[in-house]
Amino acid sequence: MQRVQSPLDNNFSMSRLAMGLWRLVDWDYAPQQLVALTESLLELGVTTFDLADIYGDYRCEALYGEALRLEPALRGEMEIVSKCGIKLCGSDNDFRLNHYDSSAAHVTASVDSSLAKLGTDYLDLLLLHRPDPLMDADSLAAALQGLLEAGKVRAVGVSNFLPHQFELLQSRLQAPLVVNQIEVSPLHSQPMFDGQLDFCQRQNVVPMAWSPFAGGELFTGTGEAARRVQACLEELGAELGLEPQQVALAWLMRHPSTMVPVLGSGKIDRLKSAVAAASVDLPLETWFQLLRAARGRDVD
């Protein structure tokens, strides 16, 4: 599978598709099963694994760390992405409500916690999970720079940041923000029109696309737009000899921003199908046919 090289950092690249591990707890896999899944993905060329400190009630990083400790050599074959900056009420804390915390102290402590849970010395990519209205850009940038210089993270980026929020943090940071992970799918195509993906292209930022199947709505949703998209995916799949999920992924990867969809299935057959979509080049009119189904109207 081809890789996506960051134009801003010659030392940072990702696989064309990333493996999302936010449902790790739900899969109820034993550590050895996670090792087998990881090995299968690496063989397929999927080397980027996406986590966050809060996933699975703060448990996913530790669960994945148990698996990596069984086969330490796997660590050198992958890129681990993790996120911080959200504090969720959970079983192991006493937060009164969900809130953001982008303070230098919290970000630094979160990285140390992630490293300990994962059993690794570094994260390949650290993302700020959400824009914080109380973000002190100077203090946060200094913390990120310190983590980079200490070797605890090798690259930094953001998630769900709008262009002006991205620019504020970047203006205070020496190192480049190499990634913005945002929601994009046929049922959430707004980033293609509201400037988010234009900004990524202009700034040479790699966009990662979370929820590329709209949380399953592409296949099981009952809303009017979801039903239109489902019918279109079936029709196009039959025409092209592809599965509906392959059409949806190829549609995202046809975009010139070179976005990296984050997969969410723990089933290897579905993952193999997804990987095959990376080699599909959708015809131009086919791409716009799915866009028309998603938006419920033709182009202007």
pLDDT per residue as tens digits for the range 203-216: 999 999 999 999 99
Query: How much is the pLDDT for 179?
Result: 98
Considering the candidates 55, 58, 64, 100, report the single residue annotated as catalytic: 55
- Is residue 245 within 8 Å of 277, Cβ to Cβ? yes
Confidence label for 295 from pLDDT (cuts 50, 70 and 90): very high
Query: How much is the pLDDT for 154?
Result: 98
Quote the pTM value.
0.97
Query: How much is the pLDDT for 1?
Result: 85
pLDDT per residue as tens digits for the range 88-146: 998 889 999 999 999 999 999 999 999 999 999 999 999 999 999 999 999 999 999 99
Average pLDDT, the chain: 97
pLDDT over 90 at 220, yes or no: yes
Span 12-37, mean pLDDT?
97
Burial of 274 (0-12, 13-18, 19+ CB in 10 A): buried
Query: How much is the pLDDT for 99?
Result: 98
Residues 6+ apart with CB under 8 A from 143: 104, 107, 108
% pLDDT > 90, the chain: 98
Query: How much is the pLDDT for 167?
Result: 98
pLDDT per residue as tens digits for the range 22-33: 999 999 999 999
Neighbours of 241 (CB within 10 A): 8
Query: How much is the pLDDT for 73?
Result: 97
Query: How much is the pLDDT for 263?
Result: 98
Query: How much is the pLDDT for 91?
Result: 85
Looking at this protein, which amino acid is placed at residue 122?
Answer: Y
CA-wise closest residue to 88 among 52, 131, 133, 127: 52
Q: Helix 163-172 and helix 137-149: axis angle, to 10°?
A: 60
Structure tokens at 146: 């310190």
Catalytic status, residue 55: yes
Span 43-57, mean pLDDT?
97
